[in-house]
Amino acid sequence: MNVPIKCSCSKVQGYLEDVSPKCGNHLKCMCDDCQRFAEYLNNETHILDENGGTEIFQVSPSSIKFTQGQENLTCLRLTQKGILRWYTSCCNTPIANTISYKMAFAGVILNCLDFSGLNKDDVLGPVKYYCMAKYCIGDAPEGANAGFSKLLTLKIIISLLIGRLLKRYSPNPFFNEETGQPISKPFILIKPIQ
């Protein structure tokens, strides 16, 4: 099934194609960088859960389709070499985290998915991984990993290798297919937000 993508002001719309619990990794990341990104967007109350966790579904970028408002996609790097964190400039809705063009990886942040009329846990399956609990606010959820889950890391490495072989990085809505550069020049946030 396709799940609609919609920013909070509805300028940016699209869909996540052929979603099922098998096609991605459903996780919460409680790391300080994800928390800092939410703070930068001034949108912590919507993005972060009670543990400071961001809910993410990791998929191939080729399954992310935008139908309007793509020009509002903006990206940020917290540090010079940090991952590319995409959000909408119209209303600061986080969209996804990506690495680079040929890395067939996009961690879609659930705030941009519209589950109206759908049961999220049926569509994505329940959250399987609670990562980076060393930055957790309050008591960590049961089964949380202090760092990144080893199983999840292995799954990501395998899917990156397969994604490279099968060219799952293309089409890619976040990068220029000819140059491999992000469609919006990353803004680098060097100073941490206090």
Q: How far is the CB of 8 from Zn ion (least distance, A)?
A: 6
Between 73 and 104, CB nearer to Zn ion: 73
Structure tokens of 87? 């959000």
Contacts of 45 (CB under 8 A, 6+ apart): none
**SS3 label, residue 192:** coil
Separation in Å, CA 91 to CA 52, 63, 152, 162, 189: 21, 23, 31, 35, 19
Q: Which is nearer to Zn ion, 42 or 181 (CB)?
A: 42
Closest CB 55 distance from Zn ion, rounded Å: 11
State the DSSP string of 110-121.
GGGB--TTS-HH
* 56 interacts with Zn ion by CB under 5 A: no
Based on CB atoms, which residue is closest to Zn ion, 11 or 77?
A: 11
Pairing status of strand 3-6 against strand 187-188: unpaired
Q: 21-40: which residues touch Zn ion (CB under 5 A)? A: 29, 31, 34
- Residue 7 or 133: the one with the smaller Cβ distance to Zn ion is 7
> Does 11 interact with Zn ion (rule: CB under 5 A)?
yes
The residue (of 90 and 152) whose beta carbon lies closer to Zn ion is 90
Q: What angle do CA 65, 180, 178 make, to 5 degrees?
A: 85
Show the site string, 69-108: x = touches Zn ion by CB under 5 A, - = not: -------------------x-xx-----------------
**Judged by CB under 5 A, does residue 7 bind Zn ion?**
yes
Measured on CA atoms in the order 139, 140, 141, 143, is the torsion positive or negative? negative
Q: Which residues bind Zn ion (CB under 5 A)?
A: 7, 9, 11, 29, 31, 34, 88, 90-91
